[in-house]
Structure 1
Amino acid sequence: MFIGHLPGVYLALRPLQRRLPPLAFAAGLLCSVLPDLDLIWFYFVDNRAFHHHEYITHRPILWAKVLLLGLLLRRFHHLTGSPIATLATGALIHLCLDSIAGAVTWGWPWWDHKTTLVHVPATHDHWIKSFLAHWTFKVEISLCVLAAAVWWRSRRARRP
């Protein structure tokens, strides 16, 4: 996924928005892209030695533990636990979306099998061009259009 993480998480969390504190909703949206901050390490520190999905930020167990922590905290302090839980939810949705055409190791640390639903063949001279030409990119564009329509409609519905 290149552009679909934020719109995908927005669409997933939008039905819950009225029941969530504003900070919690914002945390979920923020974490829709947070796992990809490992790209900074990938490009500037690690010199692309390992695919960025190999870093801890792309390990579902990390975000599952954060989600569990947030849900436990929510029982005692809603304003603290909810943002933590939705932050982790945004990251887990990010990983689900990455699993469409990118490899995510869902069973790590017990199992090193990488899950990818669709293989994107190298049809162009650069891997980005291959991804942009693949039908899965149309899914990302559809997510963006749908999220924009939902957002626009919700803004219009609030007007008197």
Structure 2
Amino acid sequence: MFIAHLPSGYILAKLLEKKFRHNLLSKKVFFIVVMMGAVFPDIDLFYFYLFDNRSVHHHKYFLHWFSFWIPIFLISYFCFKRSVYASQFALMTMLFSGAALLHICLDTFVGDVWLFAPFIDRAYVFFEVTSRYQPWWLNFILHWSFVVELLIGLIAIWMYWKDRE
């Protein structure tokens, strides 16, 4: 995915907002935490381009592993649930890691993702994008799946404008 991670984070935050209405976070912090979590796994692109010389697919890095994010999510969830005062840090960690898991799920749509790394070295993808155009990113933008990304963006914009009324 190219453009849908941040809008998907906004949509997730809007969907969770009512459930966590009475939490310890302000609405602004709540949305920032979820939206940052939705784009955070791609921070590994800095390493990919600056240090790794693009030698390993960035979805092979640990920030794109379910085995990294699921334990963080579960630990923070149980800490949040067991806390008498509903720990603010546990809530933020749970929201952030949940949004990161959403990121990985969305990447699996048309991007190779090593879902069971580091235990199984195999990429999984729902729909293959064939290489036809140069530069490489045109293959994704001109693929039918980009319409799904545009729809996610449009839904996020619609939710934002609806909320402003």
Q: TM exceeds 0.5? A: yes
Worse overlay, 110-119 or 83-92: 110-119
> Structure 2 stretches of 5 or more lacking a match?
none
For 2:41 and 2:7, locate their aligned partners in 1 and report how far apart those are by CA, in whole Å.
Answer: 15
1:46 to 52, 58, 62: 52
> Structure 1 stretches of 5 or more lacking a match?
none
For 1:139 and 1:130, locate their aligned partners in 2 and report how far apart those are by CA, in whole Å.
Answer: 15
Per the TM alignment, residue 125 of structure 1 is displaced from its structure 2 partner at its CA by: 1.9
Per the TM alignment, residue 24 of structure 1 is displaced from its structure 2 partner at its CA by: 3.8
TM-score, normalised relative to structure 2: 0.89
TM-score, normalised relative to structure 1: 0.91
1:102 to 103, 111, 115: 111
For 1:45 and 1:109, locate their aligned partners in 2 and report how far apart those are by CA, in whole Å.
Answer: 21
- The correspondence of residues 135-150 of structure 1 with structure 2, limited to 5 A, is 135-150=144-159
Q: Which amino acid aligns with 1:8?
A: S
More helix by share: 1
Q: Which residue of 1 aligns with 2:139?
A: 130
- Number of aligned residue pairs: 156
Per the alignment, in what secondary structure is the counterpart of residue 76 of structure 2?
helix
For 1:114 and 1:82, locate their aligned partners in 2 and report how far apart those are by CA, in whole Å.
Answer: 31
Q: Which residue of 2 aligns with 1:5?
A: 5
Q: Which residue of 1 aligns with 2:93?
A: 84
Per the alignment, in what secondary structure is the counterpart of residue 108 of structure 2?
helix
Runs of 4+ in 1 over 6 A off after TM superposition: none
When the two chains are superposed, the root-mean-square deviation of aligned CA atoms in Å is 1.3
